[in-house]
Structure 1
Amino acid sequence: MSKRALVLTLHICCLSICATPSVRAEAKKSVAAVTSPCKEIGFLTEVSNQMRQRLSPLTQNLKMLEDEAAMYSVAAAQTAGQAKLVYTALTALASARRQLLHGEINAAAEQMKGPLRVIEKRVAQLEAVIALRAITALEAQQATTATTGRHWIHTSSDEKACAIEIHTTAATTNNCGADLTAGPHVTAVASELPGLTTLKLMPDSFLAAPKLQATVQGRGTMSSIGNAVGKGVCMTNGNSLGTATDGLGLKELTIKAENTPVDVHMTANGGQSDECEPLKTATPGLIITNKEVAHAICQNRKGEIQAQTPIGIADLSILRADATMQTIAQLLTTGSEDKQATATAKQEAVEKVFGGRDTKVPEIYIKPLKTQTITLQLASGKRTAKISDLGDTNNYAYALAVAFHNNKASQNEAAGKNPKEDETKAGTETPAAGTEEKKDGDNKAEVCTAVEEKDCDKNKCTWDKEKNQCKVKEGAAVICAVIKALLVLAFLVF
């Protein structure tokens, strides 16, 4: 062989090897173990369980957020000053996350609804077919008396016919046993489901009408058929089974078994792609096909959901970086969100709400609430409830009302007392500022209405050069007014 021929041969071999499709990855344990209709039911049941369990962490987070929103709103109702501002901000943050999480849960549940329904229908159909196929015997009953038959075998008029009923005995108990709950087709689903591309399912023909096979035996020339004297046999009148010279009988009737699962690709390119194979059936039929099952599982085999999380023991550094809290802080301090604000300005707004950059939020405001209780004097009796566990109980509405009453009573009793003495005590009843301060704040709002800078009161107001607007100076009076509005909203929402 010449050198050129050798090079050409090697080149062709290389192309042939490179063009050979890659060997398909070994079947997953959960798939390979599906070898019967019962095991398919076990596999599909576990798949649906895994899909539903994805919502479990979300519902747990929702419960925690409901508890947090209730706890902070009660704390806000029974405090004043800086503490009220902090708890109002935390109430708003927990409420915002709770609402977003509601939407996430609803969207995830809606996405799963269709596929879960397909799986449930498939399981129900498999169970029904298993019950019908679990026939222990197909028994031919005693034939009826012969009558004149239709001209079928011969054109003569002496053809006779008799009817033979076939009775069945089917199982009435579920014989799937451990196949429904044990084995790799169940235990390996949790770890393998996200990476599945091919399934093993019963063929569609298994769910269709069963095929029967009849074995018919006869003897002699069937010139006449007489009365039946044996099950499944028509023969000459007066003869006993075994001595008849002419007869025809149904010897055996069996159901042809089609119990071998087949490979069903969930993803495109014969299971080699990660993209789901499109479902070509436009209108669903009475039978849930294995392609429909594969498509339903493929769409939801991964489904990682990024959910809203509870606030927990959040440090100020975490709250400061939270975009929702930044918006809440701007609304609390200025009454509006500034879209042009820098990242630093947004973080400073949060710091202002919480009393400064060095405020230890968990130690001062959050942790003390975890053990705080509130007493409810009801007609049915006296109750003591932890304010951290009010989210899903009837006590929340009562606790909010009692907290508001206690704070109001405390303010009336402590008129003239310096509110700053109790502001840093989280969850305690701190008196609010005197009525004169409130009036002063209200007057500021009325005074700061000038349309020109020269008329803007410099003591009570400040001139916004960018907006050409006379505005109230940021201070306690403004914050109290914003808090008052948010508390009204809290009473309506919670």
Structure 2
Amino acid sequence: MALRQIVGTKIKENVAANARLAPAIVKAVEITNMRRAEQAVSAGALAKTVITGAQHAAAEAQATLLMQGGGASRRICTASTTAIPSYKLSCSKETEKIAAAAKISKALHSLKQLVTFSASTLATQTTAVVVETVGDTSGQSWAAGSGNKHCDKHTGSATTAAATTTGLGVASLTITTGATRKTLNIEETRSGPDDDNLKTNDGERQAITSDKELVNALYAAIKAKPATTKKLTSESLTELAATPIAISIYNYLTHDGTKIPTETPTAEKVAQLIFGKSKGDVGTEFLKPLESDSNSIPTSDKPITGPTTKIAAEHYNEAMAYYTALNLKKTVASTAGGSPKEDGKEDAADQAENKKEEQNKDECKATEEGKCDKTKCDWNAEKKQCKV
């Protein structure tokens, strides 16, 4: 009983602690996943995009950058295409690093620095356009060449890019991310200013997670780390006896309740009283024996037998129903002023009583008081009947 109360109290304390600390941990996971998603797109899918095969369109007298010469001698060539992101990244070269990083997951409570892509560079990109030209583009007819892979000057039919003698074409366009890794010192980042580009006003929201937001969330989660709970099987009896609930049970059993003890009892004393012993651990003294004890629970079919651990795992509902009914039966008998008996003995006594009544029925049929055996029967003078 004492062990059950102590374990129940420890479970409640752990559940309450987890409920109290969970929000900070959940927030850290949420912010970390947001940063991972941002990195996956900017530093992954769009890290480097090389575009070739752009479609071209030509126009005359619309140039606004190079203005020398008349309108007929100014030319523009517009190239357009769609960037295709990288849907998968190869991580085979990073396997060893990933395995090494996994080993530090249990040491996050002592985190001092974090290496991540800097928020200030995460969304930046650099675009490089390669433009190829050939010949003098002044005069004549300026139009998209055959296949729309370039613009050229021609007097007749449009030529291919390979055959043109006067033209311009975008050969390739390369977009690379500006995201760079940065080592964030936890304390310095927490106390330092946030990135000016990520500060928001009313009606605005950040498009990217800031470094400070990430660090603050991780710091809060680290501080909210639940205490490591020792397994019940390895808890020593004296460790459990030193808990407040165990001491309360001890004081209740050793005092009348009107006087609060001024001295805290030793763990050995508490363990000896409430557990019956002070040496050993819960697993050895209480749980291990449940693997080799013997039980038999009667059912409408064949009895359920085996050690407590087996019955608890395979026939928990039946066992609980049986012992609950057994305890209720004892409680009812005790409340009624009787003496509760063991279930088997009580059944046997009831059967013997029933058998005795059946035997006496034949002997208690007299209609005259003198012929009624009052050692076995009762005489009803009013009805003039001899009854069991």
SS of the counterpart of 1:342?
A: coil
- Which residue of structure 2 lines up, in the alignment, with residue 236 of structure 1? 153
The alignment partner of 2:209 has SS state of coil
Following the alignment from structure 1 to structure 2, what is the Cα–Cα distance between the partners of residues 243 and 313? 84
Q: Tell whether 2:81 aligns with 1:166.
A: yes
Q: In the alignment, which residue of structure 2 is the partner of 1:326?
A: 247
Q: How does 1:460-475 map to 2 (within 5 A)?
A: none
Partner of 2:325: 405
Offset at residue 170 of structure 1 (A):
4.3
Aligned counterparts of 1:358 and 1:115: Cα–Cα separation in 2: 43
Q: CA deviation at 1:408?
A: 6.2
Q: 93, 105, 120: which is aligned to 2:33?
A: 120
What residue identity is the alignment partner of 1:102?
V
SS at match of 2:125: coil
- Aligned pair 1:266/2:186, yes or no? yes
Distance 1:201 1:278, change over 3 A: same
Give the drift of 1:114.
1.0
Distance apart, 1:103 and its partner CA: 1.6
Compute the TM-score of the two structures, normalised by the length of structure 1.
0.51
Deviation of the 1:100 alpha carbon: 0.7
Percent of paired sites with the same residue: 16
Judged with a 3 Å threshold, the aligned counterparts in structure 2 of structure 1 residues 110 and 282 are, in CA distance, closer, same or farther, namely farther
Q: Secondary structure at the match of 1:140?
A: coil
2:62 counterpart (150, 172, 183): 150
Give the number of equivalent residue pairs: 325
The answer on 1:207 being equivalent to 2:126 is no
Q: Distance in 1 between matches of 2:262 and 2:290?
A: 33
SS in 1 for 2:320: helix
Which residue identity is paired with 1:199?
Answer: L
Deviations 1:177-199 (A, max 9, x none): 35256457525524764444233
Instruction: Sort the Cα spacing of 1:147 and 1:134 in 2 relative to 1 into closer, same or farther, 3 A.
Output: closer
- More moved, 167-176 vs 210-219: 167-176
The code of the aligned residue for 1:207 comes to L
For the pair shown, which has the larger CA radius of gyration, 1 or 2? 2
1:255 maps onto 2:175 in alignment: yes
Alignment of 1:476-487 (within 5 A): none
CA contact (8 A) 2:55 2:80 kept: yes
The CA deviation at 1:288 is 2.4
Find the counterpart in structure 2 of residue 220 from structure 1. 136
Conserved in 2, the CA contact under 8 Å of 1:142 and 1:232? yes
Structure 1 position 115, deviation (Å): 1.1
User: How large is the RMSD of aligned CA atoms in angstroms?
Assistant: 4.8
Tell me the TM-score normalised to structure 2 length. 0.63
Structure ranking higher in strand proportion: 2
* Contact 2:132-2:169 within 8 A present in 1 as well: yes
Q: Could you report, residue by residue, the CA deviation over 1:109-163 in whole angstroms, capped at 9, with x for unpaired residues?
A: 333111111122222222233123353x41133424x455536354955455554
Q: Spell out the pairing of 1:33-432 with structure 2 (5 A cutoff).
A: 88-129=1-42, 130-133=44-47, 135=49, 137-144=50-57, 146-147=58-59, 150=62, 152=64, 153-154=66-67, 158=72, 161-179=76-94, 182=97, 186-187=101-102, 189-190=104-105, 193-204=108-119, 207-218=122-133, 219-223=135-139, 225-229=142-146, 232-237=149-154, 238=156, 240=159, 241=161, 246-256=166-176, 258=178, 260-268=180-188, 276-277=190-191, 280=194, 285-300=206-221, 305-309=226-230, 311-312=232-233, 317-331=238-252, 339-344=260-265, 352-353=273-274, 368-372=289-293, 374-375=295-296, 383-384=304-305, 386-388=307-309, 395-406=315-326
Tell me the secondary structure at the aligned position of residue 402 of structure 1. Answer: helix
The whole-number CA distance in structure 1 between the counterparts of 2:310 and 2:207 is 49
Q: Where do 5+ consecutive residues of structure 1 fail to align?
A: 1-87, 271-275, 423-427, 432-494
What code does the residue aligned with 2:46 have? Answer: L
What amino acid maps onto 1:236 in structure 2?
Answer: K
